[in-house]
């Protein structure tokens, strides 16, 4: 059986736009990170923002708190990418996301400092949480993802060789065999120009792994 990573119709580049505080995004990105690394594909990581996406919308107190966390996390990771280069974005997200979603820690200075330390990033970058000068960089990255999608979409956005879509939404991180099968299925849908949407109901929060 041929290796899917080397077949002619396999994607050669994957772009991911993610909001760090979304638990569903965490699960999807863990799946995607593992399968693309295993297949040796080029994966580029980009910030998007639920806070920007939901500007002007009526929100509950819980939703406003999540949007505030989104803004803080976006600032922190934008500063990391600026200081250490784009390749530092995903490792820093991996550390921050593990604290937020697996350890259930709040999006605060202590969590930010711990994530920076684990990612071996400059500890002074914790000051980015209070610096709105990073907001335009997050907004610009967010907007590039929306433009590639061709409309308004939530987190994560994934593009296979420039063909973007929202999702997939997963409730748990699949094992290697299922992860590969899902990757093949999703990349095939991305290559199908007429495909637009597939969805089924769900409730509750995902298993962060």
Per the domain annotation, does 61 fall within a domain?
A: yes
Per the domain annotation, does 201 fall within a domain?
A: no
pLDDT at 193: 81
pLDDT at 191: 82
pLDDT category, 200, cuts 50, 70, 90?
confident
Q: What is the pLDDT of residues 18-46, one digit of tens each?
A: 999 999 999 999 999 999 999 998 899 99
Global confidence as pTM: 0.91
pLDDT at 201: 80
Q: What is the pLDDT of residues 1-24, one digit of tens each?
A: 335 444 546 667 899 999 999 999
Q: Which residue has the tokens 């921050």?
A: 96
Per the domain annotation, does 77 fall within a domain?
A: yes
Q: Which residue has the tokens 């709040």?
A: 106
pLDDT at 192: 82
Q: How many domains does the chain have?
A: 1
pLDDT at 139: 97
Per the domain annotation, does 46 fall within a domain?
A: yes
User: Could you list the residue range(s) of the whole structural domain that residue 151 is in?
Assistant: 12-190
Q: How many CB atoms lie within 10 A of CB 204?
A: 6
Per the domain annotation, does 74 fall within a domain?
A: yes
Phi, psi of 168, rounded to the nearest 5 degrees: -75, 155
Per the domain annotation, does 118 fall within a domain?
A: yes
pLDDT of 69 above 60: yes
Per the domain annotation, does 100 fall within a domain?
A: yes
Element (H, E) at 116: helix 109-118
Q: What is the pLDDT of residues 94-106, one digit of tens each?
A: 999 999 999 999 9
Q: What is the mean pLDDT of residues 80-92?
A: 97
Per the domain annotation, does 204 fall within a domain?
A: no
Q: What is the pLDDT of residues 138-171, one digit of tens each?
A: 999 999 999 999 989 999 999 998 889 999 999 9
pLDDT at 89: 97
Q: The domain spanning residue 122 has which CATH number?
A: 3.40.30.10
Gap between the Cα atoms of 145 and 140, Å rounded? 9
Q: What is the pLDDT of residues 106-119, one digit of tens each?
A: 999 999 999 999 99
pLDDT at 166: 92
């Amino acid at each position: 059986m041929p290796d899917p990573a080397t077949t002619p119709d396999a994607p050669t580049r994957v772009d991911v736009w993610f909001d760090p505080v979304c638990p569903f995004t965490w699960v999807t990105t863990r799946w995607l990170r593992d399968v693309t690394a295993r297949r040796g594909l080029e994966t580029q990581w980009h910030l998007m923002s639920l806070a920007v996406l939901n500007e002007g919308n009526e929100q509950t107190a819980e939703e406003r708190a999540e949007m505030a966390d989104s803004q803080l996390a976006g600032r922190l990771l934008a500063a990391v990418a600026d200081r250490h280069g784009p390749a530092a974005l995903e490792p820093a997200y991996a550390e921050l996301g593990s604290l937020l979603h697996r350890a259930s820690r709040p999006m605060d200075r202590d969590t930010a400092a711990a994530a920076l330390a684990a990612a071996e990033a400059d500890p002074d970058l914790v000051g980015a949480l209070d610096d709105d000068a990073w907001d335009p960089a997050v907004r610009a990255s967010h907007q590039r993802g929306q433009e590639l999608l061709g409309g308004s979409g939530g987190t994560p956005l994934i593009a296979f060789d420039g063909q973007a879509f929202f999702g997939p939404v997963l409730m748990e991180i699949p094992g290697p065999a299922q992860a590969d099968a899902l990757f093949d299925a999703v990349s095939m849908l991305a290559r199908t120009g007429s495909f637009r949407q597939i969805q089924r109901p769900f409730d509750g929060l995902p298993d962060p792994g």
